[in-house]
Amino acid sequence: MSIRPGRLRAAVLAVGVVVVGLGFSIGACLRDGSGGGLARGRNGTSTSSTGPAAGAAPGGALPVGTLRLGVPEEPASLDPFDPKSRTVAGEGLLSQVLPQLFRVDPAGREVGWLADDASVRAAPDGTSATFSFRTGAHWSDSAPITADDLRFTLDTVRGGAWPGPRAGYDRLTAVEGDGSSVTFRFAGPFPGWRRLFSGADFVLPAHRLAGRDLRAEWKQGPDVAGGPFRLGPVTPGLSARLERNDGWWGGPVKSPAIEVLVVPDVRTMEQLLGRRELDIAWPPVTSNRVGRYRALAGVDVSVAEPGGAFESLVANTTTVPVERRLAYFGLANRDRFVDVLLAGEGDRAVSLAGPVAGSAAGAAPWAAAGLEPAAGGLKGAPLSTLVAADEDELSPLVGRVLQQGAQPSGATLELKSDESSTVDGTWLPDGRFDLALVRTVAWPEPCWSCWFADASTGRGNVTRVTGLTALAAAADTDPAAVAALEARVRAEGLMLPLWRPRAVLAGRGVAGLVANSWSLGPFWLAESWAPTGR
């Protein structure tokens, strides 16, 4: 699981005016086909070491058929060994360049990507699994993808250079095999093993990186690809280009390139799509997205049911006593958040894992609208800090609701914001918060001990809780034990799931767009996106 906090702006009007101007200049650059500053770095040269894609138009122009995608967040880094890359923007782009074993479809099914679905076999006792790589799987430099790449990646995850999640990999005791056949062996049953080397946990090329200083490599992003795209030119603050990996083993990639343009303002993104200056828009989670985009002539909108993504309120157990944690959670009216802020574009989260297997509908520990503890739990409370990252426009609204609710008790809640890379990389792991608004994309079969075991090193375990290892381990192997774990998490005021937003993806003249709430960013089946000429 990986945590995705939301965005808070101090001067919304000023930022909006600046971004509107930027948005129209983006459109002008793309209309004349020159690419202008979009395809070059600050010094006029490509910031990527991969060079232009085959078939690129001369003079720096975008390849014919390039799709222009608007996203609300800039990747702070595309170096997978840099903690700043561990945001939804960075991980979403990297997931198209570096391969993963499995991915999750819009229905929440784990499907093979690098792993061949037909070859997957799990032992009856859950302590091992075997699979084969897809036929012909290889890197963009023609080197085959083998079990050696998984062993190298595992060693990297366990080493000091890896900034991503580590939880769950301690259960993987051996990666056996040579060539394309692989056997995983686990320390005990591990039904959620498909999350390993998947999602934001990429497979790394051993032949390219072995024996090198990983902190010094790939500062401008990967120069070898194993996914449908390779990384092209990057202009910090403005754009990044994904260019077709013509040697990809997974089938044809239908667009020569995807120009990913940073458009932080939701209204500007809508205008650019309406003006045909964007082909695809991935709007942030704000109300009435679906209605506004469907009102644009010629625009198709894909909407996914709530899936793995959810927003939650997390308390720091080392700084906030349980009575105060529960009191703050009781201020969160999740029904109102969903009905008013999301305007029907999300559901109230009743569980960390979605519907709890074996439980009746609505029987999860958080089924009630709110915890509603006595307001006296905040009386005389010291100044508390609520932290969120800068990318989610709902965070300031939620923060103000909590602020106002705390005031009658005399409690003061101070709102703090920072870049998502700093919140993920510093505020949360260093415990520099009392409360935090976080966004998570969970795996369908969650690794509960990755979140709540005492020795967990996963980023999901930001609550720094101890004493839940036994409950978490039981929940990993027995779905009926999930409710007991969640009840304990609720009783101690550790984490309150707020809502599950629906993923929305809008496009004009593009076939193959599918929104997916289990996906990191908008890129589900991006290799199938194709311009239609409409």
- What proportion of the chain, given as a percentage, has pLDDT over 90? 47
Q: Which of 371-375, 401-405, 432-436, 471-475 has the lowest mean pLDDT?
A: 371-375
Two structure tokens written together for 270: 């809508």
Confidence check: pLDDT of 207 > 50: yes
Q: Which of 26-35, 110-119, 413-422, 470-479 has the lowest mean pLDDT?
A: 26-35
- What proportion of the chain, given as a percentage, has pLDDT over 70? 82
Cα dist. 226→208, 220, 248 in Å? Answer: 12, 17, 7
User: pLDDT tens for residues 224-275?
Assistant: 999 999 999 999 889 999 999 998 999 899 999 999 999 988 899 999 999 9
Confidence check: pLDDT of 62 > 90: no
Two structure tokens written together for 253: 């990639």
C-alpha neighbours within 13 Å on the C-beta side of residue 389: 28
Helix or strand (DSSP H, E) at 500: strand 495-501
Cα dist. 95→17, 308, 330 in Å? Answer: 32, 17, 37
Q: Which amino acid is at 446?
A: P
| Closest by CA position to 441, among listed 254, 251, 200 | 200
Two structure tokens written together for 74: 């800039």
How do 300-303 and 504-507 pair as beta strands? antiparallel
CATH superfamily, domain at 309-501 = Dipeptide-binding Protein; Domain 3 (3.10.105.10)
Cβ atoms of 38 and 70 closer than 8 Å:
no
The residues, any chain, with a CB within 8 Å of residue 502's CB and separated by 6 or more, are 303, 304, 305, 306, 345, 346, 515, 517
Confidence grade of residue 209 (pLDDT, cut at 50, 70, 90): very high
pTM of the entire structure? 0.85
User: pLDDT tens for residues 86-117?
Assistant: 888 899 999 999 999 999 999 999 999 999 99
Helix or strand (DSSP H, E) at 104: strand 102-104
Q: Give the 3-state secondary structure of residue 20.
A: helix
CATH code for the domain defined by 102-209 = 3.90.76.10
CATH code for the domain defined by 12-98+212-304+503-531 = 3.40.190.10
Cβ atoms of 433 and 386 closer than 8 Å:
yes
Q: Which of 30-44, 188-202, 239-253, 424-438 has the lowest mean pLDDT?
A: 30-44
Strands, DSSP E only, in 123-200?
A: 128-132, 172-176, 181-186
What is the residue extent of each domain of the chain? Answer: 12-98+212-304+503-531, 102-209, 309-501
Two structure tokens written together for 488: 């304990």
Cβ atoms of 517 and 305 closer than 8 Å:
yes
C-alpha neighbours within 13 Å on the C-beta side of residue 279: 23
Averaged over 296-312, what is the pLDDT?
A: 92
Two structure tokens written together for 239: 């754009």
